[in-house]
Amino acid sequence: MAFKTLDTNEQLAACKALINGAACDGSSGEMLEVVCPSDGKPFATIPRCTGADVGRAVTAARQAYEAQSWAKLTAAERGRILLGLSNLIAENQDNLAAIESRDTGKPLTQGRADVAAAIRYFEFYGGAADKISGETLPVADGYLAMTLREPHGVVGAVIPWNYPTQIFSRVAGAALAMGNALVIKPAEHACLSVLRVAELAHEAGLPKGILNVVTGFGDEVGAALAHHPGIDFITFTGSPQVGTTIQAAAARNHIGCTLELGGKSPQILFEDADLDKALPTVRNAIIQNGGQTCSAGSRVLVQETIYEEVVERLRNKFRALVAGPHDQDLDIGPLINAAQARRVAAFCERAKNERIPLIAEGTIAPDTPEAGFYTTPKLFGPVPMTSSLAQEEIFGPVLAVIPFKDEEEAIRIANDTPYGLVAGVWTRDGARAIRVARRVRSGQVFINAYGAGGGVELPFGGVKKSGHGREKGFEALREFSVLKTVIINHG
């Protein structure tokens, strides 16, 4: 199959969508080119599916679901198939990592880490499948009341290009463990690893129709899926703008949705922080995946008394950063596409016009292909909270340094954006760490640590414009299920 050559090769590999267990082209017959961000060259094609293909996929999912081919298995049997998939991903780790890196431009080390996370997702949810249950409830004498935790039915999922393997595995692991059928629309800029893992899922024994992958454009295939009356729940990861349209479509169909949107996550450095530990983490949290991470630590709030020292030390770190092709495995790869590179450049240009000082900038490796979508990592500061650098999600390797006076001001600044996804607090004062953690409005808070996206066990999601609902951990099993209350009069 096309995937075997994707990591190495010369000729354009023709990839297929996956509907009802069969690899297929879209009904339009058109193919879209898949471009490697490192050199701007096409290396594969994917079908441009249409609304009609979404319809076929939803019908296949519905039939498979109603036939009980998946939900009728015991939870333990479903879990075993997911564990089998985890093992198959592990056997194919090198190939999958190479595909992911070439498709997204991320350095190979990051590609491997993403596949390791996928292995872990299916391991976790394979093990969790038979460990989630309902409750019995204390009610009036003569009655027995209980809750059953049941699948929604057919789940629709729309996911972005930044971590396709990971985000697919996070969604599919939990949704499938609960017994749902799934129709997923990956981003057209990065869907190859998703197609490959979905193929492996069938090798692992997933019944046909339970997992369908429809490729193509967001405003065509994604919108058709979100609006389809045949889905029972939808989960979306991506931008707040598209998230709004997904939620509106869900409202029209009276179904639930989870939205995992962006962030402008702060790391707060108090004067008593252990800077030797904090600063490498601050740097990594913004350069991981070229800053194209929803939970990127894109603001660092620094107490005035240590501002000069922190800026000096970060300046040296940023100057040493090098961007280059994915297979050179440097600090960062290219951005995903030309539009994203332009978007990041526009933010930096605006910062320049607003006279926000550029403290330091990394470099691009020599002999890097000119047609790739590269940008240098940048450190700006002091950044006023009114500027777009402090307020908007850039989705690039750009860190804003923002000074603060005291704890109260740190909390105010941390909360002063529309987002609330992740925060980091660095201090040796335990009581302060807890006070700040409790007052920061965000879905996750790290104390003396920061793990952009890490930890499959940890419920993850946002507040405010970062979205609602939780992925990961047992919480995701609750999101991908619905409670039925059964009341028995036994006299």
Sites of contact with ligand NAP (CB under 6 A): 158-162, 185, 187-189, 217-219, 222-223, 226, 237-239, 242, 245, 260-262, 294, 393, 395
Amino acid at 9: N
User: What residues have CB less than 8 Å from 371, skipping those under 6 apart?
Assistant: 39, 40, 41
What do you get for the CA distance between the two ends of the chain, in Å? 62
Position 189 contacts Mg ion (CB under 5 A)? yes
Beta carbons of 304 and 403 less than 8 angstroms apart: yes
Partner whose binding site includes residue 190, from Mg ion, ligand NAP, none (CB under 5 to 8 Å by kind)? Mg ion
| Subset of 228-247 contacting Mg ion (CB under 5 A) | none
Give me the catalytic one of 15, 191, 294, 348. 294
Per-residue x/- marks for Mg ion, 136-175, CB under 5 A? ----------------------------------------
CA distances to 240, 311, 395, 433, 442 from 262, rounded to whole Å, are: 7, 26, 9, 25, 12
Encoded tokens for 73: 């298995």
Beta carbons of 49 and 215 less than 8 angstroms apart: yes
Contact pick of 58, 171, 190, 323 for Mg ion (by CB under 5 A): 190
The distance of closest approach from Cβ of residue 66 to ligand NAP in the complex, given in angstroms and rounded to an integer, is 26
Q: Which residue number places its CB atom closest to Mg ion? A: 103
Strands (E), 247-368: 256-260, 266-269, 299-303, 322-323, 358-361, 363-364
Distance, CA of 461 to CA of 173 (rounded, Å): 17
Position 39 contacts Mg ion (CB under 5 A)? no
Partner whose binding site includes residue 162, from ligand NAP, Mg ion, none (CB under 5 to 8 Å by kind)? ligand NAP
Query: What is the H or E stretch that residue 342 is in?
Result: helix 338-353
Query: What is the H or E stretch that residue 308 is in?
Result: helix 307-319
The distance of closest approach from Cβ of residue 223 to ligand NAP in the complex, given in angstroms and rounded to an integer, is 4
Partner whose binding site includes residue 294, from Mg ion, ligand NAP, none (CB under 5 to 8 Å by kind)? ligand NAP
Distance, CA of 20 to CA of 305 (rounded, Å): 61
Distance, CA of 363 to CA of 234 (rounded, Å): 41
Position 7 contacts Mg ion (CB under 5 A)? no
Measured from the CB atom, the residue of 112 and 189 that comes closer to ligand NAP is 189
The distance of closest approach from Cβ of residue 242 to ligand NAP in the complex, given in angstroms and rounded to an integer, is 3
In the sheet that holds 266-269, the strands lie side by side as 358-361, 378-380, 398-404, 299-303, 266-269, 422-426, 444-447
Beta carbons of 266 and 300 less than 8 angstroms apart: yes
The distance of closest approach from Cβ of residue 387 to ligand NAP in the complex, given in angstroms and rounded to an integer, is 18
Measured from the CB atom, the residue of 162 and 376 that comes closer to ligand NAP is 162
| Subset of 58-117 contacting Mg ion (CB under 5 A) | 103
Measured from the CB atom, the residue of 43 and 168 that comes closer to ligand NAP is 168
The distance of closest approach from Cβ of residue 318 to ligand NAP in the complex, given in angstroms and rounded to an integer, is 22
Q: For residue 4, count CB atoms less than 10 angstroms from its CB and return exposed for 0-12, middle for 13-18, buried for 19 or more.
A: exposed
Partner whose binding site includes residue 218, from ligand NAP, Mg ion, none (CB under 5 to 8 Å by kind)? ligand NAP
Measured from the CB atom, the residue of 103 and 199 that comes closer to Mg ion is 103
CA distances to 171, 262, 463 from 421, rounded to whole Å, are: 18, 7, 6
Encoded tokens for 304: 């005035």
Measured from the CB atom, the residue of 148 and 248 that comes closer to ligand NAP is 248
Measured from the CB atom, the residue of 33 and 312 that comes closer to ligand NAP is 33
Measured from the CB atom, the residue of 195 and 423 that comes closer to Mg ion is 195
Positive or negative: CA dihedral 56, 58, 61, 67: negative
Helical H runs in 105-253? 108-128, 164-177, 192-203, 223-227, 240-253
Q: How much is the CA Rg of the chain, to the nearest whole Å?
A: 23
Give me the catalytic one of 188, 260, 393, 479. 260
Position 53 contacts Mg ion (CB under 5 A)? no
Measured from the CB atom, the residue of 187 and 206 that comes closer to Mg ion is 187
Partner whose binding site includes residue 103, from Mg ion, ligand NAP, none (CB under 5 to 8 Å by kind)? Mg ion
Active site residue 49: no
Partner whose binding site includes residue 262, from ligand NAP, Mg ion, none (CB under 5 to 8 Å by kind)? ligand NAP
Active site residue 294: yes
Contact residues toward Mg ion (CB under 5 A) are 103, 189-190
> Which residues participate in catalysis according to the annotation?
260, 294
